[in-house]
């Protein structure tokens, strides 16, 4: 099981699988990060609170501090010197060189958090090369938030919870889910154009007066007036 927490600009991945310090570091690096570096007391408290919140069952957790390069010169895996240290009394200097089976007294070069000792740091052998006889513990990886990939695999990402008295957020990494943008365009519905023309109503042609045949004006008959004769004229004079 893996658990992810956000601390300022970093993502912390807590892995319950138990391996040696060397293998833990290889695992973190294969995912694009490295073992966690604890450079102040606020981050130390955040990690311990996170383990309580996640109901962490194991007691020892590898962190990214080592004195492999030079005995007694503790460095973080980025090469910076360990200036803030939370080693238990007498730890970090191989004070008890014979407490480990198979230890040669000079190989306790890797640090871990021991929860059973109040979260103090202890130095243990990084790897003994003896397979299951080595010191195998859980571990914590650290990633920049921009470098946190999607190849880590299943994680237990719980809700956002403030479990410490500092400003760092306990919110988990939220997965980027591609969300379909809501459609803002109206459906392409074909709307009929409004009818603006009047219906094609057939208007009857105006009624014209019937072609009534007007009779030609009646003319008086051409009465023939008889021409005056001499006898008629003589007779008319006698009557006068």
Q: What is the pLDDT of residues 129-169, one digit of tens each?
A: 555 467 899 999 999 987 555 444 444 444 333 434 333 44
pTM (global) more than 0.75: no
Over residues 10-59, the pLDDT tens digits come to 999 999 999 999 999 999 999 999 999 999 999 999 999 999 988 888 88
2-147 belongs to CATH 3.10.100.10: yes
CA distance linking residue 57 with residue 16, whole number of Å? 9
Report the alpha-carbon distance of residue 159 to residue 164 in Å, rounded.
15
Backbone angles phi, psi at 85, to 5 degrees: -130, 145
129: left (phi over 0), alpha (psi -120 to 50) or beta: left
Q: Where are the alpha helices (DSSP H) in the chain?
A: 21-30, 41-53, 230-239
Q: What is the pLDDT at residue 93?
A: 54
- High-pLDDT (> 90) share of the chain, %: 41
Residue 46, both tokens: 């955040």
Identify the pLDDT of residue 127.
Answer: 86
């Amino acid at each position: 099981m893996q658990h992810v927490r956000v601390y300022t600009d970093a993502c912390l991945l807590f892995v319950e699988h138990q391996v040696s310090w060397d293998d833990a570091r290889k695992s973190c690096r294969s995912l694009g990060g490295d073992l966690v570096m604890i450079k102040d007391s606020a981050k130390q408290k955040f990690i311990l609170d996170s383990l309580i919140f996640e109901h962490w069952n194991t007691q020892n957790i590898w962190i990214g501090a080592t004195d492999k390069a030079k005995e007694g010169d503790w460095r973080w895996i980025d090469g910076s010197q360990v200036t803030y240290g939370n080693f238990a009394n007498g730890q970090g200097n191989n004070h008890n060189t014979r407490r480990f089976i198979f230890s040669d007294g000079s190989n306790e070069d890797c640090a871990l958090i021991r929860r059973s000792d109040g979260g103090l740091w202890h130095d243990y052998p990084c790897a003994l090369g003896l397979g299951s006889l080595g010191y195998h513990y859980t571990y914590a990886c650290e990633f920049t938030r921009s470098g946190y990939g999607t190849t880590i695999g299943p994680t237990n990402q719980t809700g956002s919870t403030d479990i410490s008295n500092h400003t760092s957020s306990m919110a988990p990494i939220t997965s980027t889910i591609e969300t379909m943008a809501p459609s803002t365009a109206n459906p392409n519905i074909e709307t009929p154009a409004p009818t603006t023309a009047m219906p094609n109503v057939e208007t009857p042609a105006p009624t014209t007066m019937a072609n009534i045949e007007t009779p030609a004006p009646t003319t008086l008959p051409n009465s023939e007036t008889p021409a005056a004769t001499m006898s008629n004229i003589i007779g008319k004079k006698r009557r006068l």
